[in-house]
Amino acid sequence: MITIREIRTSESGILSAMSDAVNWNNAPSECGLITSADNMKGFFLEADGEIAGSAGMVTYEPQSLVFINLVIVKEQFRRRGYATRLIEHILDLTRNYRTRRLHATPAGSKVYAPLGFQPCRTISFFAAESPCLKTPEKIGVHAMRPEEVAPAIARDAECFGFSRHNLLNFNYREFGKYALVSDDGRAHIWGRRWKKYRQMAGLVSADLETAAALASAASGLDRSQPQSIICYDQQKEFMEYLQSGGFVKVREMIDMYLGEPDTEPPMQYRSIYGGDMG
């Protein structure tokens, strides 16, 4: 028998272990957020009482956007249509929402296309073992202060289209030492970390030089593990800068939507937060 149910907060460790098993980079606390934030939910699919797969969703009101994430099926349960059933469950719950979005691998997109999802843009995932990014002169950056979190969340909302205050306030609590702001207070970058990568996330900057200054400074904060950064492919100049400092494209993702298409992300959105969290 197949059942789909909400993930209890006490089960966030199971979701984290499933993420680790497929070599994703979600920290356990992030999996906990999916099960506890007021605009997030996670689901387990059980086959004869055994957890076989997961999916999550982040909703943005008023019934506007649903971001689908953490779609995982355990290896021994694959090719049985369980990912499709999880997505259909979320689509049924959110049928009144304007747009449903997710990030897919090229292979994974074949699961979502029959459900009506269409590609809207491509995304490049970059990684580097020991990056050496050039630092622009005369552009100062500093650690994000508590009073700078709200303005950074507002800048992020201008790019993403909705306020991600739950996610970004959580990020500052968990990974605040990786968050930086330009000295003029007009640009910022967040950070994340788990087993595989330290990710430079959600970089917002209107000009390329400030984006470079933030990325360079962020890359030097912690060199104990490989670093990653994810960009929409419209960021050609910024991606060239990353590649000049040792970052290599390791995979491509596809931004897909069902319903009304979103507007194109503005150019100041230099790197995304990550499709695994919305």
CATH number for the domain including 11?
3.40.630.30
Give the pLDDT score at 262: 83
- 275 in a structural domain: no
- Number of structural domains, the chain? 2
Q: What's the rounded mean pLDDT across residues 15-39? A: 95
| pTM score over 0.75 | yes
* Same domain? 187 vs 67: no
| pLDDT tier, 193 (very low <50, low <70, confident <90, very high otherwise) | very high
Q: 31 lies in which domain range?
A: 2-97
249 & 152 share domain: yes
In this structure, the answer to whether residues 234 and 161 fall within a common structural domain is: yes
Does one domain contain both 88 and 131? Answer: no
Residue 165 located in a structural domain: yes
Q: Categorize the per-residue pLDDT at 274 as very low, low, confident or very high, splitting at 50, 70 and 90.
A: confident
Do the domain assignments include residue 264?
Answer: no
82 and 149, same domain (yes or no): no
Decide if 154 is inside a domain: yes
Residue 146 included in any domain: yes
Q: Give a yes or no: residue 120 inside a domain.
A: no
Which residues are CB-contacts of 85 (< 8 A; sequence separation ≥ 6)? 2, 4, 45
Per-residue pLDDT tens over the stretch 152-190: 999 999 999 999 999 999 999 999 999 999 999 999 999
* pLDDT value at 53 more than 90: yes
Same domain flag for 131 and 55: no
- Summarize pLDDT for 209-219 with one digit per residue, the tens: 999 999 999 99
HEC string of 66-126 equals: EEEEEEEECHHHCCCCHHHHHHHHHHHHCCCCCEEEEEECCCCHHHHHHHCCEEEEEEEEE
Mark which of 47, 80, 97 sits at the end of a domain: 97
Answer for the pair 257, 156: CB distance below 8 angstroms, yes or no.
no
Positive/negative CA dihedral, 44, 117, 275, 128: positive
| Beta strands 248-259; 99-104: pairing state | antiparallel
C-alpha torsion sign, points 133, 215, 70, 83: negative
